[in-house]
Amino acid sequence: MAEPSNLAKRIVFTGGSGVAGRHVVAKLLSYGHKILNVDTTSLDNPDVYTLKADLTDGAQAFNSLSCHFQVSEPFMEPVQTPDAVIHFAGIPQPMRVPDNELFRINTMSSYNIIEAACKLGIKKIILASSITTYGVTYAEGDVDFPHFPLTEESPTQPMDVYATSKLCMERVAESFARRFKGVDIYALRIGGVIEPDRFEEKLKSYIEEPEKWKPHAWSYTDARDLGSMIQCCLAKDGLGFQVFNAVNDEITNVAHRTTERFLKSICPNTPFTREMGPREAPVSNTKIKDMTGFKEEFGWREMLGRES
């Protein structure tokens, strides 16, 4: 477990009851942060209070960022502006609700949170974006990636409403960061999240059935390492608006081949922009490592005791 930091922050975390959110919240608590969860369902964590809110309502979003962090009788401390906002709330994939409703919920909730945070003077905003923005995960048919490795500068040309809603969020964030000087807004393009209690189960499929995992670009995001990435983002100030690929270091299956040999065999028409490391993930996390100091803790081979 991480050692509590002397830079502990007051954080509003939206969507903390979700699959990824609950593990990220637990990781952030280990650094000593105080967290208010804002969600439509409660989080099963006795150390975190959940405020139930509909963030597509601007007034509810504003009040969620300007309230107490728990119930008290009476309230002995005044309302304090949080140090940071982490926005994970939203519909996590297509077909959970009709497309227009997904777009409304994801775009309006992110807009409302970004606007309220900036106008309240909150200087650090971290957003859950997605590698689906590269256009393959929910494409109509088998679509190739633009190139390997995928970086934050790679083309984003999705067909689906979910990835499009994430790109809209990124563009809104960039505009607010340009307008509100001194605000850092970091959008994390998260890969397929693997929870600790399902690590072996999910990685078994990645390893044994690699042909199934093109939609994830043979990359993944450990939920605990995602918490560490966010901790690094919280600690790193002054970057303005940034997009980061938030994935782990290595490809999930190369068998006895290098990353390049594997990708050339399974995606023969996809070009390479540079030589790749022997086990490098097709989605590059170089930027988040270089700019925030993130270091992977839960690599799949070490976790599963695999040498190859």
Tens of pLDDT, residue by residue over 90-129, are 999 999 999 999 999 999 999 999 999 999 999 999 999 9
Could you tell me which CATH number the domain at 10-198+219-250+283-303 has? Answer: 3.40.50.720
Q: How far, CA to CA in Å, does 107 sit from each of 89, 91, 165, 177?
A: 11, 10, 6, 17
pLDDT band at 206; cut points 50, 70, 90: confident
Both tokens assigned to 145: 């990636």
Query: In degrees to the nearest 10, what's the CA dihedral of 47, 53, 59, 63?
Result: -10
- Rounded to whole angstroms, the Cα distance separating 218 from 104 reads 30
Beta bridge partners of 186: 126, 242
Q: N- to C-terminal Cα distance for the chain?
A: 27
| Higher-scoring residue by pLDDT: 201, 49 | 49
- Rounded to whole angstroms, the Cα distance separating 55 from 110 reads 8
pLDDT band at 2; cut points 50, 70, 90: very low
14 phi and psi angles, rounded to 5 deg: -90, 140
- Rounded to whole angstroms, the Cα distance separating 111 from 133 reads 18
HSE-up (13 A, CA, CB side) for residue 199: 16
pLDDT at 306: 66
What mean pLDDT is predicted for residues 252-265? 87
pLDDT at 1: 41
pLDDT at 3: 45
Which residue reads 């227009």 in tokens?
A: 100
What mean pLDDT is predicted for residues 241-267? 92
pLDDT at 171: 98
pLDDT at 307: 58
The domain segmentation of the chain, as residue ranges, is: 10-198+219-250+283-303
DSSP result, 201-218: HHHHHHHH-GGGGGGGTT
Query: 97 CB contacts (<8 Å, ≥6 apart)?
Result: 91, 105
What mean pLDDT is predicted for residues 17-37? 97
Say if pTM beats, i.e. exceeds, 0.85.
yes
Average pLDDT over the chain, rounded to an integer: 94
pLDDT band at 204; cut points 50, 70, 90: confident
* Strand intervals (E) in 42-183: 49-52, 84-87, 124-130
Q: Which residues of 203-239 are buried (b: 16+ CB within 10 A; e: fewer)?
A: beebbeebeebbebbbbbbbbbbbbbbbbbbbebeee
pLDDT band at 253; cut points 50, 70, 90: confident
Residue 32 near residue 9 (C-beta atoms within 8 A): no
Give the rounded percent of residues in the chain with a pLDDT score beyond 70.
Answer: 97
Over the stretch 125-176, which tens digit does the pLDDT of each residue have?
A: 999 999 999 999 999 999 999 999 999 999 999 999 999 999 999 999 999 9
Q: Is 50 exceeded by the pLDDT of residue 5?
A: no
| Higher-scoring residue by pLDDT: 266, 253 | 266
- Rounded to whole angstroms, the Cα distance separating 49 from 70 reads 6
Beta bridge partners of 52: 39
pLDDT at 4: 42
